[in-house]
Amino acid sequence: MVKTDLIEIMPKPEVSVRCVNCQSQAVDVHGYLFEGIHVLWDCICPNCNTIFYQTLPISHDALFPIAFSKDGLKSNYNKRAEVWLAKPLIHAVTRNIIIRPAIEIKQFKEFGEAILLNCLDDCFGHVYAKLWNAQRLLEKYPEKSVIVLIPRKMQWLIPEGVAEVWLVDVRFKEMEKYIANLDDLVKKEMARFSHFYVAVAPVFLDTDKVDDYKFLKVEKFELKQFNDLKPQVTFVLREDRFWHANRMEEFLNRVLIKFKWQRYFRRLLVWRQNKLVKQAIRRIKASSYEISFVITGLGSNGSFGRLAKDRRVDNISVAIEREWCEIYAKSHIVVGVHGSNMLIPTSLAAGFIEILPEYKISHMGEDTVMRYSGRYAMLLGRHVDAFIHPALLAQHVLHMLNFGELYEEIESNS
């Protein structure tokens, strides 16, 4: 039975599906497939005898439903989701592109009914956004076992109170594949419960209602300390998402990606990005030497010398993740390109500047957390042009660092 935030899988599922071929609604649903990122209805149409799969309306699949025949010849999906969601799923299942990773189950408590929160995804931000639903599920269904299905490397984010954690030992880049051993495991484990549900787990939640501390275990930057702490600006960098100086650089990078040549030119691209960051830092320092700078992110090409404390790494670990969280929580401003895993930095820092490419405008806000409303939101959360000049970025930073005076004025008049 489909509820507001749960879909019943056992004992009496009720579904409504259209045939992917003839659009008949007289479809027989004779099972489920727990594929990995997706959960699918396994269907057959008595009208045209088409055997097909249909995604359950969970997370991104609720926004972009996908249906496809088992032979892959018929499919139905939103073209906006073709490249990053639909085609990877269809190819993984119909072409048998599989993995069989180790899956560990950790049990802490058990109730008669269970809710599976599927947080599997090939994108860090998507996993984290899905995991936010754990807070609401724990509050709303204290009498049910909340089970979190998640990549092992992200278990450090799981909040206290969940009944079970199912850890999948797989890299993000492998998550598009069909996890062939997951379906049998889920069906075996669900037999322990009288009722088994899958959480709808929307990926667009009201972040004002998300308690970041439950997941990050770090207190976020308190605005009342803005003037008391030494100003700190943190740049969050990646070596596959770049701040470009102009459209030509962006075009060349997209060509390199298309032909899979980017890795051969990575050092050059990183050098160009680091040069822009250094220019921005020097501009800011020219106005005030009291400001400290930190660099975080994956990849350690290049050097920032004495301009900034470089905490980039080539390989991530829980210890590094927690160190970065502490850095963000002490940052007056975090700066990063859209796609640089900005959800956690923007959750913890006082303010943020996101460098937003034109082709990502339709995704504005997906990669950041706006902690404030009203005037504070306008002052402390900024999305700037992809080709912003370092001098202009420096102006934004310096204006935001003057927020403390405005804060005191606003609070005194409230």
Question: pLDDT digit string (tens) for 62-89?
Answer: 999 999 999 999 999 999 999 999 999 9
On the question of pLDDT at 106 being above 60, the answer is yes
Average pLDDT, the chain: 95
* Model pLDDT, residue 1: 41
Residue 413, pLDDT score = 78
Pairwise pLDDT comparison (126 vs 405), residue with the higher score: 126
Percent of the chain past pLDDT 70, that is, above it, reads 99
This prediction's pTM: 0.93
CA atoms of 322 and 319, how far apart (whole Å): 5
- Residue-level pLDDT at 109: 95
Higher-confidence residue of 347 and 373: namely 347
Identify the band that residue 3 occupies on the pLDDT scale cut at 50, 70 and 90: low
Confidence at residue 409, expressed as pLDDT on a 0 to 100 scale: 77
CA 163 to CA 46: how far, in whole Å? 40
Q: What is the mean pLDDT of residues 379-390?
A: 96
Averaged over 234-256, what is the pLDDT? Answer: 95
Q: Are 160 and 218 in contact (CB under 8 A)?
A: no
Tokens, residue 168:
């999948």
Crossing angle (nearest 10°) for helices 390-401 and 403-412:
40
Mean pLDDT of 406-410: 78
Say if residue 324's pLDDT is above 90.
Answer: yes
Closest by Cα among 151, 156, 158 to 173: 151
pLDDT, residue 289, reads 77
Contacts of 249 (CB under 8 A, 6+ apart): 242, 272
Model pLDDT for residues 142-181, shown as the tens digit of each residue: 999 999 999 999 999 999 999 999 999 999 999 999 999 9
Q: Which letter, b or e, does each residue of 10-27 get, where b requires 16 or more Cβ atoms within 10 Å of its Cβ?
A: beebeeebbbbbeeeeeb
pLDDT digits (tens, 9 = 90+) for 193-222: 999 999 999 999 999 899 999 999 999 999
